[in-house]
Amino acid sequence: MKLELLIEELELESLSKTSHKDGNLKKSLNKHIEEVRSISKVLARKHGLTESLDILDVLAEWHDIGKLNPAWCIDEDQKPPHS
């Protein structure tokens, strides 16, 4: 099942939700996923693991799925529970 369909079906928040922040800089979950996807592919190629590219793509997309839970909010002063 595609991530976007799961998000809609479970009535979770969107991939535009803030995933990470460093000071005042905020990063959407979608941007974070794309960065993880890109870095994992570079590392896989560097280490000759090109047969793993498809699974790395899936893992990058799903690794922070819990951050779409409305209870997880990095924008508040209180730190969210972290996986």
Instruction: Kindly list the domain boundaries of the chain, sorted by start residue.
Output: 3-68
Per-residue confidence (pLDDT) for residue 83, from 0 to 100:
46
DSSP 8-state symbol, 46: H
pTM over 0.85: no
Structure token pair of residue 37: 């996807």
Tell whether the torsion through CA atoms of 70, 2, 36 and 54 is positive or negative. Answer: positive
Per-residue confidence (pLDDT) for residue 65, from 0 to 100:
77
- Binned average pLDDT, 10 residues per bin, the chain of 83 residues: 64 61 72 87 93 91 77 62 52
Structure token pair of residue 49: 């693991």
Per-residue confidence (pLDDT) for residue 77, from 0 to 100:
58
Structure token pair of residue 13: 């928040």
